[in-house]
Amino acid sequence: MKSCHNSTRAEVSYFVNPLFPLDNDEASFCDYRVDIVNPDVCQLRLDFEKFSLRGPHKVFGVCRKDRFMVTTSYPQGIGLSDLCGENTGQHVYVNVNPGSSVSLMVMTSGGAPYMWKIKITQIDCKKDSALVAPNGCLQYYTDISGTIQSFNYMGRLYQANLDYAICIRRSLNTCRVEYQQVPGSDFGINSFEGNELAPNMGRSGIILPIICIFIRQ
Residue 158 has pLDDT above 80, yes or no: yes
User: Poorest-confidence range of 41-55, 66-80, 129-143, 202-216?
Assistant: 202-216
pLDDT in tens, 9-33: 999 999 999 999 999 999 999 999 9
Give pLDDT, residue 14: 99
Q: Which of 208, 213, 188 is nearest to 198 (CA)?
A: 208
**Which H/E stretch holds residue 209?**
none
Q: Compute the average pLDDT of residues 169-196.
A: 70
Residue 201: predicted pLDDT? 44
SS3 state of residue 130: helix
| pLDDT value of residue 200 | 46
pTM of the model: 0.85
pLDDT of residue 130: 86
Mean pLDDT of 176-185: 79
pLDDT tens figures, 34-82: 999 999 999 999 999 999 999 999 999 999 999 999 998 876 666 678 9
CB 204 within 8 A of CB 213: no
Beta strand extents in the chain (DSSP E only): 6-8, 12-16, 28-35, 41-52, 67-71, 91-95, 101-108, 115-124, 137-141, 165-168, 177-180, 213-216
Who has greater pLDDT, 62 or 199?
62
Question: Kind of pairing, strands 67-71 and 101-108?
Answer: antiparallel
More confident residue, 162 or 36: 36
The chain-wide mean pLDDT, for the chain, equals 86
Task: Please name the fold of domain 6-169.
Answer: Jelly Rolls (2.60.120)
> Looking at 25-29, 81-85, 129-133, 169-173, which range is the least confident one?
169-173
pLDDT of 138 higher than 90: yes
Q: According to the model, what pLDDT value does residue 182 have?
A: 78
Residue 199, preceding bond cis, omega within 30 degrees?
A: no
